[in-house]
Amino acid sequence: MFRLSYRLPTALGGLRHASSAAGEGQRTALYDFHVQRGGKIVNFGGYALPVQYTDQSIIASHLHTRQVGSIFDVSHMLQTRVFGKDAAACLESVCTADILGTPEGSGGLTVFTNEAGGILDDLIVNKVSEKELYVVSNAAMKEQDMGIMSAAVDNFKSQGKDVTIEFLTPTDQSLVAVQGPQVAKELSKLLAKEASLDQLYFMTSFVTTLAGIPNVRITRCGYTGEDGVEISVESSQVQKLTESILESGVLKLAGLGARDSLRLEAGLCLYGSDIDSKTTPVEAALAWLVSKRRRTTRDFPGADVILGQLKEGVSRRRVGFQMLGTKPPPARSGVAILSQGQQVGQVTSGCPSPSAGRNIAMGYVAENLKAPGTKVEFKVRDKLYEAEVTKMPFVKANYYNKPNK
């Protein structure tokens, strides 16, 4: 039986509520708004962000997102713009995506890789036009990612290529994620008359006027498995935008706690927990991020290693798990995975699933144990608990995909 008790999810369990301005991290433009609305502030990756709000538990917030919709402040993420006729080729030199072949107005998930094939970060690249890219990457890897992209730009410039880069700071530009089944309906009420979300499919993006605010970029994507958008807006306007979205009373504010359990149910990786510089896309079950054309050109960092693994296989693989038995404790990051008394892997993320009503996890196991239905054991606080490999996502994805013709 699933227990309706909950503590901070995998990535947040070590955080404490900030008690002073010096210890809480950098503030986003919505910081005062969060505090006024009852946000419980924690230091997450150097930023002061709400883990939850006093009007809802993490479970209630999680379920409200799945059933109705929620607003998340994700302004800590790194937003970047790359310009020039060689912008796509430049960014391709450090990631695995086929940006040159991506249609204008579309984007996708990709990864920066190192020469050993390890994942340096995951990011979304939107192709605004043939001469402009809009990139969103992880806050925790901000300094590294700025270095990777700046070095690529400098390298191309030294060859006489046309490319420049602009890093947007949270002081100037904010980012809010609005996720859930009622989001499109609620946002449509605030759109300029000439705009519509009907043709804005998953991983597409456009600039419009929203809630009377011009030059707002809306991208159909998110980190929950639900239909939703991420909205890039000037920081001077983000509170007005957020208040306008909340005004109808349908959508609610949500924090990092719900965001982490939602992404785990969706089978999505958290950088630094589920993927890192020693994990390849093949091991992480993310081989689909290595585009077909790039497999042929073999011109991204670590190509020989990754393409070799695609051909020869790997010794371990990221998989999902569900725990079995009566009232097992959740398996958190670092829990050992055993088979026939021998350790065969390790949990990287785990939590109770409010939607599925059972404890779920993801982690890495030996390649011969990756098949769904394979029984293993988790060693939690020196006791063994039965679990089995299961397909991910743990809940049905509800992305707003373009219909097949």
Please state the residue numbers annotated as binding site. 230
Query: Nearest CA to 76 among 16, 129, 125, 24?
Result: 24
Report cis status (omega within 30 of 0) of the bond before 214: no
Count of CA atoms in the C-beta half-sphere (13 A) of 251: 26
- List the 252-253 sheet strands across, edge first: 205-210, 213-219, 228-234, 173-179, 70-73, 252-253
Residue 359 CA to residue 96 CA, distance in Å, equals 33
Rounded to whole angstroms, how far apart are CA atoms 393 and 243?
32
Q: Which residue positions form the known binding site for substrate? A: 230
The helices-and-strands tally (H runs, E runs) of the chain is: 9, 20
The rounded radius of gyration (Å) of the Cα atoms in the chain is 21
Helices (H), 10-124: 31-36, 58-67, 87-92
Shortest CA distance to 187 belongs to which of 225, 136, 242, 236? 242
Distance CA 146, CA 331 (A): 34
Comparing C-alpha atoms, which of 37, 40, 56, 58 is closest to residue 48?
Answer: 40
The structure tokens listed for 106 are 């579309």
Maximum CA extent, the chain: 65
Which region, left, alpha or beta, applies to residue 220 given φ > 0 means left and ψ of -120 to 50 means alpha?
A: beta
What are the strands, taking DSSP E only, across 39-161? 39-44, 47-53, 70-73, 78-83, 106-113, 119-129, 132-137
**CA 50-112-176 angle, 5° bins:** 25
Question: Residue 102 in contact with residue 76, Cβ under 8 Å?
Answer: no
H or E stretch covering 27: strand 26-27
